[in-house]
C-alpha cells in the first residue's frame, strides 16, 4: 500500500512541529497535515483523508475523548493513536480512550519545554505505533479439528495494541458464575493497568483486579498483570497463586504474555486455554507453543476484528491456533470450552 498518511492533532505547536519533523525523516510515513484542536481535526479529516490520526488527550474547547468519540461515529476503522502525558489524570483519560476505541497511545514529555532527546523519542515511538497499524500480514484461517478439547481450569489472555477495547467487549460477556479463573496480560505501564482493571471491573459481571503477589486464584475472577511486572502462577497445595516479578523483559515487554503462558502450561498442563488477541509483535507465540505441547488449547482473534494482527497472526501462521475467531465469536467459544466436561449449576439443579 502507499505510505500511511498521518494527521497530527495537538494544541502544542512544539509537539506538532517535532512530530512533523520526525515523520518527514521517516520514509515509510507521510504527514497529511496537522490541527490544533479537535474541531479543526474533524473538518480536516474528510479533506485530507488520513490513514491514521495522532490525537492529543488534553486540548482546549474539544478534548481528545470528545474528538475520538466523534471520529469513531463517522470513521469507525480509522486508526487513532492517543498522545498522553505520564500523569495520573493523563493515564486515566488514556485508558478511557483505549476502551472507547483508540488503537494505541504514546506518552508525551511532561516538561513544558521538552528536550530534543525527548522529542526524538516521542517521534520514534509514534512511528513504531503507526507501523504496527499497517503490518503486512497473510490472510489465512486454520482450524485444528483433530485435537481433543479437554476440560479447562484456567483462561489466560494476552493482548497489546487495541487490547483495552477488545477486553471491554469480551470480559463483560462472561457470566458471574464463569467456572475458571482468568489471567490477563495487556501491554501497559504502571497506573494504566490498575485503571484498566478498575474499568473492566465496573463493567463486568465477574470481579476484575490488578494481579498481586500470592493472590489465590478463584473461578469468576480475573486479574490483570501489573505494569512493569511479569505475572506468573505457581501451585501451592490445592491452590494456585499469582506470582509477580521483575525479571528481564521478554519480547521487549514487561509484563510479557510468554511469561504468563509458560507458567500456565507448567501448572495447568492440558487444562489450560490461552487466547491471543489484537496486538503488535509476537509476544505469546512461544507461550502458545508450550501450552499446545502440554496438551492445552489456543484461540486467536481474527485479522478482520483485530486492530493489529501481529500477535494473533504470528500464532496462526505458526499453526498453533485451534481456532481463529472474530471478537464477537470469542466469547461464546470461550464459554463453550469453559463448561465442557463440567456441569453448569442450572443443569445440575434440574
Residues annotated as part of the active site: 160, 187, 283
Strand partners, 276: 158, 300
Q: Closest by alpha carbon to 261, among 219, 294, 237?
A: 294
Distance CA 213, CA 241 (A): 8
Within 10 Å of residue 90's Cβ, how many Cβ atoms?
Answer: 21
Q: Closest by alpha carbon to 94, among 73, 63, 52?
A: 63
DSSP state of 63: -
Beta sheet of 80-84, edge-to-edge order: 30-35, 5-9, 52-56, 80-84, 104-107
For every residue of 207-245, which 3-state class applies, written as one string?
EEEECCCCCECCCCEEEECCCCCEEEEEEECCEEEEEEE
Residues 6+ apart with CB under 8 A from 297: 147, 149, 150, 152, 272, 273, 274, 291, 322, 337
Grid cell of 299 as nine digits: 484461540
- Beta strands 272-276 and 230-236 are unpaired
Q: What angle do CA 67, 72, 78 make, to 5 degrees?
A: 105
Residues 6+ apart with CB under 8 A from 89: none
- Beta strands 239-245 and 230-236 are antiparallel
Amino acid at each position: 500500500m502507499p505510505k500511511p498518511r498521518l494527521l497530527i492533532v495537538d494544541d502544542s505547536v512544539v509537539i506538532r512541529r517535532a512530530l512533523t519533523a520526525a515523520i518527514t525523516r521517516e520514509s515509510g510515513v507521510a504527514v497529511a497535515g496537522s490541527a490544533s484542536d479537535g474541531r479543526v481535526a474533524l473538518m480536516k479529516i474528510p479533506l485530507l483523508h488520513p490513514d491514521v490520526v495522532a490525537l492529543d488527550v488534553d486540548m482546549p474547547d474539544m478534548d481528545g475523548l470528545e474528538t475520538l468519540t466523534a471520529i469513531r461515529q463517522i470513521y469507525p476503522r480509522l486508526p487513532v493513536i492517543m498522545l498522553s502525558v505520564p500523569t495520573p489524570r493523563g493515564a486515566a483519560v488514556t485508558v478511557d480512550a483505549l476502551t472507547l476505541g483508540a488503537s494505541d497511545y504514546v506518552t508525551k514529555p511532561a516538561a513544558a519545554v521538552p528536550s530534543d532527546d525527548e522529542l526524538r523519542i516521542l517521534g520514534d515511538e509514534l512511528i513504531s505505533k503507526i507501523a504496527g497499524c499497517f503490518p503486512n500480514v497473510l490472510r489465512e484461517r486454520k482450524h485444528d479439528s483433530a485435537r481433543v478439547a479437554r476440560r479447562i481450569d484456567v483462561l489466560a489472555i494476552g493482548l497489546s495494541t487495541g487490547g483495552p477495547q477488545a477486553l471491554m467487549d469480551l470480559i463483560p460477556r462472561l457470566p458471574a458464575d464463569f467456572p475458571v479463573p482468568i489471567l490477563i496480560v495487556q501491554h501497559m505501564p504502571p497506573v494504566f493497568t490498575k485503571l484498566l482493571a478498575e474499568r473492566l471491573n465496573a463493567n463486568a459481571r465477574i470481579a476484575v483486579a490488578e494481579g498481586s503477589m500470592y493472590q489465590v486464584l478463584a473461578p469468576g475472577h480475573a486479574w490483570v498483570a501489573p505494569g512493569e511486572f511479569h505475572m506468573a502462577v505457581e501451585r501451592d497445595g490445592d491452590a494456585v497463586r499469582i506470582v509477580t516479578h521483575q525479571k528481564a523483559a521478554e519480547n521487549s515487554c514487561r509484563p510479557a504474555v510468554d511469561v504468563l503462558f509458560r507458567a500456565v502450561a507448567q501448572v495447568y498442563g492440558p487444562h489450560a486455554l490461552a487466547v491471543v488477541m489484537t496486538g503488535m509483535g509476537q509476544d505469546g507465540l512461544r507461550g502458545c507453543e508450550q501450552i499446545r505441547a502440554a496438551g492445552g488449547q489456543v484461540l486467536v482473534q481474527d485479522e478482520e476484528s483485530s486492530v493489529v494482527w501481529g500477535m494473533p497472526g504470528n500464532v496462526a501462521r505458526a499453526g498453533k491456533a485451534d481456532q481463529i475467531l472474530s471478537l464477537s465469536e470469542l466469547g461464546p467459544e470461550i464459554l463453550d470450552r469453559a463448561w465442557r466436561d463440567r456441569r453448569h449449576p442450572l443443569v445440575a439443579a434440574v
